[in-house]
């Protein structure tokens, strides 16, 4: 089986990747590029821990072939903070006690990020709907919803 030569843009950086066609974006991120901020669990698009942004939209990287992502922009949790400054969402998650074990958090933050870009003035109900594809077993979602709603307000206030 021949390998594919792929150019992937991850967090603004171009990576030349040689990999078998069946390997997923998640495989390439975690194993080939050592970016373990994106997590693995069910591998069936049921839990959302593998969520990254593909051209600004939240996707499950566990069921996307790396090949499908060539020429597109991938944002992982490692790419969210800028020059050491946390994204307001990241700060909000800290401030509102939304982090417990933390394993769902990278995917959760990225889903929220994509959603708030599209819908800056989101209600709690809308936030919950947007995060329905991200399972959390620790928090019961409440402080996560609070963090996202508050981050949205804070960002809106700055605009």
Partner 1 sequence: MAARTMRVVGKSLPRIDAPGKVTGTAVYAADFALPGMLVGKVFRSTEPHARIVRLDVTRARSLPGVRAVVTAADVPDVRYGGGLKDETVFAKGKVRYIGQPVAAVAATTPEAAQAALAAIEVVYEPLAAVLDLEAALAPGAPLVHEEWASYTAIPILHRDGNVCNRARIVVGDVDRGWEEADRIFEHRFRTGMVHQGYTEPRAAVAQWDSSGTVTVWSNTQLPFEVQNTLAEIFQMPPSKIRVVVPGIGGGFGGKLRVGVEHFAVLLARKTGRAVKVVTTSQEELTAAYPRQGAVVELKTGVTNDGRIVAKEGRIWFDTGAFAGSGPGVASVATLVLAGPYRIPNLRLEGFAVYTNKTNCGSYRAPSGPQSNFAVESQMDIIADALGIDPLEFRLKNIVRDGDEGPTGQVLGAVGLEECLRNAAAAIGWNERRPETWRGKGLACGWWTTTGGSSGVYVKINPDGTVALNTGAAEIGTGALTGAAQVLAEELTVDLADVSVVSADTFSTPFDFGAQGSRTAFAVGNACRAAVADLKQRIFALAAAQLSVEVEACVLAEKHVVADGKRVSLAELARMSQMTGGGLIAQGTFIAPPTAYDSKRVEGHVYPAFHSPSFHAHAVDLSVDPGTGDVTIHRYVVAQDVGFAMNPTYIEGQIEGGVAQGLGQALSEEIVYEGGRVLNANLTDYKMPTTLDMPRVETILVEHPSLAGPYGAKGVGEPPNIEPPAAVANAVAAATGLRVTVLPITAERIALGLLGDVRADGG
Partner 2 sequence: MSFEYHEPTSLAEAVDMGARFGAAGRFLAGGTDLIIQMRRGTVAPEHVVSLHRVPDLGAIDANGDIQVGALVAHRAIERFPAFHGRLRALVEAAEVVGGHQVRNVGTVVGNVVNASPAADVVPVLLTLGATVVCVGADGERSVALEEFLVGPGRTTRRPGELVTAVRFASPPERSASAFLKAGRRRAMEISVVCVAATVTLDAAGERCEKARVALGAVAPTTWRAREAERGLQGRAMTPEALHEAGRAAAAECRPISDVRASARYRRLLVETLVPRALARCMERLRNAR
Which residues contribute to the site for partner 1 (CB under 8 A)?
A: 30-31, 34-44, 46-47, 49, 76-78, 80-81, 86, 90, 93-95, 97, 99-106, 109, 127-129, 131-145
Q: C-beta of 56: minimal distance to partner 2 in Å?
A: 10
Report whether 129 contacts 149 (CB < 8 A): no
Strands (E), 21-107: 51-54, 57-60, 73-75
Residue 30, binding choice from partner 1, partner 2, none, Cβ under 5 to 8 Å by partner class: partner 1
Please give the residues from 13 up to 42 whose contact with partner 2 meets the rule CB under 8 A. 20-22, 24
Residue 4, binding choice from partner 1, partner 2, none, Cβ under 5 to 8 Å by partner class: partner 2
Report whether 62 contacts 51 (CB < 8 A): no
Q: Which of 13, 8, 37 is CA-nearest to residue 24?
A: 8
């Amino acid at each position: 089986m021949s390998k594919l030569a792929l150019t992937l843009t991850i967090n603004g950086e171009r990576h030349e990747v040689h990999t078998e066609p069946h390997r997923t974006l998640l495989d390439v991120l975690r194993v080939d590029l050592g970016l373990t901020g994106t997590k693995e669990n069910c591998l069936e698009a049921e839990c959302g821990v593998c969520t990254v942004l593909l051209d600004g939209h939240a996707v499950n990287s566990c069921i996307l072939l790396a090949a499908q992502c060539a020429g597109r922009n991938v944002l992982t949790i490692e790419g969210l903070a800028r020059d050491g400054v946390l994204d307001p969402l990241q700060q909000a998650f800290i401030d509102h006690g939304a982090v417990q074990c933390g394993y769902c958090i990278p995917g959760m933050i990225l889903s929220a990020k994509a959603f708030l870009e599209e819908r800056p003035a989101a209600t709690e109900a809308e936030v919950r709907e947007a995060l329905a594809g991200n399972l959390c077993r620790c928090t019961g979602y409440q402080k996560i919803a609070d963090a996202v709603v508050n981050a949205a307000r804070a960002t809106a206030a700055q605009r």
